[in-house]
Amino acid sequence: MKLRINTLFVGLGYQFGIAAHTASFISQQSIIALEYALHYVVHWPDPDCLQAVTLVCFKNTLEIIDCFEIRMEQPSTNRAKAQTFSDYKHCNTTKYLIDITAHKKISFISSGWGGCTSDKKVTEECGILDYLLPGDVVLANRGFTISDVCQPQTYTKNTRWPTLHKLRVITTRKTIV
Protein backbone atom coordinates (compact mmCIF):
# COMPACT_ATOMS: atom_id res chain seq x y z
CA MET A 1 0.00 0.00 0.00
CA LYS A 2 2.90 2.33 0.69
CA LEU A 3 4.29 1.90 -2.82
CA ARG A 4 0.91 1.94 -4.56
CA ILE A 5 -0.80 4.97 -3.00
CA ASN A 6 1.91 6.44 -0.73
CA THR A 7 -0.06 6.07 2.49
CA LEU A 8 1.58 7.65 5.55
CA PHE A 9 3.21 5.24 7.97
CA VAL A 10 0.92 6.52 10.73
CA GLY A 11 -2.08 5.57 8.56
CA LEU A 12 -0.64 2.16 7.78
CA GLY A 13 0.05 1.59 11.47
CA TYR A 14 -3.51 2.51 12.39
CA GLN A 15 -4.98 0.34 9.63
CA PHE A 16 -2.98 -2.77 10.56
CA GLY A 17 -2.87 -2.17 14.34
CA ILE A 18 0.89 -1.64 14.57
CA ALA A 19 3.16 1.27 15.47
CA ALA A 20 4.21 3.74 12.76
CA HIS A 21 7.91 2.85 13.13
CA THR A 22 7.03 -0.84 12.70
CA ALA A 23 5.19 0.01 9.48
CA SER A 24 8.25 1.97 8.35
CA PHE A 25 10.57 -0.95 9.15
CA ILE A 26 8.36 -3.42 7.25
CA SER A 27 8.26 -1.07 4.27
CA GLN A 28 12.07 -0.73 4.25
CA GLN A 29 12.51 -4.50 4.43
CA SER A 30 10.04 -4.96 1.57
CA ILE A 31 12.01 -2.54 -0.60
CA ILE A 32 15.24 -4.43 0.15
CA ALA A 33 13.56 -7.73 -0.77
CA LEU A 34 12.24 -6.22 -4.02
CA GLU A 35 15.70 -4.92 -4.88
CA TYR A 36 17.21 -8.35 -4.29
CA ALA A 37 14.53 -10.10 -6.36
CA LEU A 38 14.63 -7.63 -9.28
CA HIS A 39 18.32 -6.63 -9.42
CA TYR A 40 18.86 -8.56 -12.66
CA VAL A 41 16.32 -6.42 -14.55
CA VAL A 42 18.51 -3.30 -14.49
CA HIS A 43 21.92 -3.86 -16.07
CA TRP A 44 24.34 -1.98 -18.31
CA PRO A 45 24.08 -3.28 -21.89
CA ASP A 46 26.89 -4.33 -24.20
CA PRO A 47 27.66 -1.39 -26.57
CA ASP A 48 27.73 -3.58 -29.70
CA CYS A 49 24.35 -5.11 -28.88
CA LEU A 50 23.00 -1.65 -28.11
CA GLN A 51 23.98 -0.24 -31.52
CA ALA A 52 22.31 -3.15 -33.30
CA VAL A 53 18.86 -2.56 -31.80
CA THR A 54 18.82 1.24 -31.58
CA LEU A 55 15.89 3.04 -33.19
CA VAL A 56 16.63 5.14 -36.26
CA CYS A 57 15.63 8.39 -34.57
CA PHE A 58 18.30 7.75 -31.89
CA LYS A 59 21.01 6.43 -34.23
CA ASN A 60 23.80 8.45 -32.58
CA THR A 61 22.42 8.45 -29.02
CA LEU A 62 23.34 5.62 -26.69
CA GLU A 63 22.07 6.83 -23.33
CA ILE A 64 19.33 9.17 -22.09
CA ILE A 65 19.74 10.40 -18.52
CA ASP A 66 17.58 12.42 -16.19
CA CYS A 67 16.96 12.92 -12.49
CA PHE A 68 13.56 12.46 -10.91
CA GLU A 69 12.26 13.17 -7.44
CA ILE A 70 9.86 11.16 -5.31
CA ARG A 71 7.90 12.87 -2.55
CA MET A 72 8.55 11.50 0.93
CA GLU A 73 7.23 12.00 4.43
CA GLN A 74 8.77 14.88 6.33
CA PRO A 75 11.72 13.63 8.40
CA SER A 76 11.73 14.17 12.15
CA THR A 77 15.21 15.75 12.45
CA ASN A 78 15.98 19.25 11.21
CA ARG A 79 19.15 18.13 9.42
CA ALA A 80 17.27 15.49 7.43
CA LYS A 81 14.54 18.03 6.63
CA ALA A 82 17.14 20.41 5.23
CA GLN A 83 18.86 17.69 3.19
CA THR A 84 15.67 16.40 1.61
CA PHE A 85 13.77 19.63 0.98
CA SER A 86 13.47 20.36 -2.73
CA ASP A 87 13.12 23.97 -3.83
CA TYR A 88 11.78 22.69 -7.16
CA LYS A 89 8.98 20.54 -5.68
CA HIS A 90 8.50 22.61 -2.48
CA CYS A 91 8.40 19.47 -0.31
CA ASN A 92 10.72 16.77 1.01
CA THR A 93 11.88 14.44 -1.76
CA THR A 94 14.37 11.74 -2.61
CA LYS A 95 16.24 12.25 -5.90
CA TYR A 96 17.37 9.48 -8.25
CA LEU A 97 19.29 9.49 -11.52
CA ILE A 98 17.97 7.13 -14.17
CA ASP A 99 19.62 6.08 -17.41
CA ILE A 100 17.58 4.68 -20.27
CA THR A 101 19.09 3.21 -23.40
CA ALA A 102 17.90 4.33 -26.81
CA HIS A 103 15.98 1.06 -27.19
CA LYS A 104 13.86 1.86 -24.12
CA LYS A 105 15.54 -0.28 -21.45
CA ILE A 106 16.48 1.01 -18.01
CA SER A 107 20.21 0.47 -17.63
CA PHE A 108 21.03 2.41 -14.44
CA ILE A 109 19.26 3.74 -11.36
CA SER A 110 21.29 5.57 -8.75
CA SER A 111 20.93 5.33 -5.01
CA GLY A 112 18.63 7.88 -3.42
CA TRP A 113 19.88 11.40 -2.68
CA GLY A 114 18.31 14.26 -0.75
CA GLY A 115 16.04 16.51 -2.79
CA CYS A 116 18.31 19.54 -2.35
CA THR A 117 21.22 17.77 -4.10
CA SER A 118 21.98 19.16 -7.56
CA ASP A 119 21.65 16.97 -10.64
CA LYS A 120 25.32 17.56 -11.39
CA LYS A 121 26.44 16.29 -7.97
CA VAL A 122 24.24 13.20 -8.26
CA THR A 123 25.70 12.50 -11.71
CA GLU A 124 29.28 12.95 -10.51
CA GLU A 125 28.97 10.74 -7.45
CA CYS A 126 26.43 8.04 -8.32
CA GLY A 127 28.83 5.99 -10.44
CA ILE A 128 27.26 6.31 -13.88
CA LEU A 129 30.33 8.06 -15.30
CA ASP A 130 32.32 4.86 -14.70
CA TYR A 131 30.13 3.07 -17.26
CA LEU A 132 30.47 5.66 -20.04
CA LEU A 133 33.09 4.92 -22.66
CA PRO A 134 34.85 7.37 -24.99
CA GLY A 135 32.57 8.08 -27.93
CA ASP A 136 29.32 7.43 -26.06
CA VAL A 137 26.59 9.94 -26.81
CA VAL A 138 24.49 10.94 -23.81
CA LEU A 139 21.24 12.83 -24.23
CA ALA A 140 20.42 14.96 -21.19
CA ASN A 141 17.91 17.62 -20.28
CA ARG A 142 18.85 21.25 -20.67
CA GLY A 143 19.36 21.58 -16.90
CA PHE A 144 22.15 19.00 -16.85
CA THR A 145 25.48 20.79 -16.92
CA ILE A 146 27.62 17.66 -16.87
CA SER A 147 29.69 17.98 -20.03
CA ASP A 148 32.63 19.25 -17.95
CA VAL A 149 32.59 16.16 -15.68
CA CYS A 150 32.24 13.58 -18.47
CA GLN A 151 35.27 12.08 -20.14
CA PRO A 152 36.60 14.39 -22.87
CA GLN A 153 35.61 11.96 -25.63
CA THR A 154 32.05 11.50 -24.31
CA TYR A 155 29.58 13.74 -26.09
CA THR A 156 26.77 15.18 -23.99
CA LYS A 157 23.89 16.85 -25.76
CA ASN A 158 21.65 19.05 -23.67
CA THR A 159 18.25 19.38 -25.20
CA ARG A 160 14.84 20.72 -24.39
CA TRP A 161 12.20 18.01 -24.44
CA PRO A 162 9.41 18.89 -26.86
CA THR A 163 5.86 19.22 -25.62
CA LEU A 164 3.74 16.85 -27.63
CA HIS A 165 0.15 17.56 -28.49
CA LYS A 166 -2.21 14.58 -28.03
CA LEU A 167 -2.85 14.32 -31.80
CA ARG A 168 0.91 14.31 -32.50
CA VAL A 169 1.47 11.50 -29.96
CA ILE A 170 -1.24 9.36 -31.61
CA THR A 171 0.23 10.05 -35.07
CA THR A 172 3.73 9.18 -33.84
CA ARG A 173 2.52 5.91 -32.31
CA LYS A 174 0.81 4.93 -35.57
CA THR A 175 4.01 5.67 -37.52
CA ILE A 176 6.23 3.62 -35.19
CA VAL A 177 3.89 0.60 -35.12
Write the DSSP assignment of the chain as a string of letters.
-HHHH---HHHHHHHHTS-HHHHHHHHHHHHHHHHHHHGGGS-PPPHHHHHHT--GGGTT--EEEEEEEEE-PPPSSHHHHHHHEETTTTEEEEEEEEEEETTS-EEEEPPPEETTS-HHHHHHHSSGGGT--TT-EEEEETT---TTTS-TT-EEEEEPPPPPPHHHHHHHHHHH-
Q: What percent of the chain has pLDDT over 70?
A: 68
82-129 pLDDT, tens digit per residue, is 999 988 889 999 999 998 887 778 888 898 999 999 888 888 898 888
Q: What percent of the chain has pLDDT over 90?
A: 12
What average pLDDT does range 142-157 have in this prediction?
61
Residue 177 — pLDDT band, cuts 50, 70, 90?
very low
Q: For position 96, what pLDDT does the model report?
A: 92
What average pLDDT does range 128-137 have in this prediction?
78
Q: Which residue has the higher pLDDT, 161 or 30?
A: 30
Q: For position 92, what pLDDT does the model report?
A: 92
Mean pLDDT of the chain, nearest integer = 76
Residue 175 predicted with pLDDT over 60: no
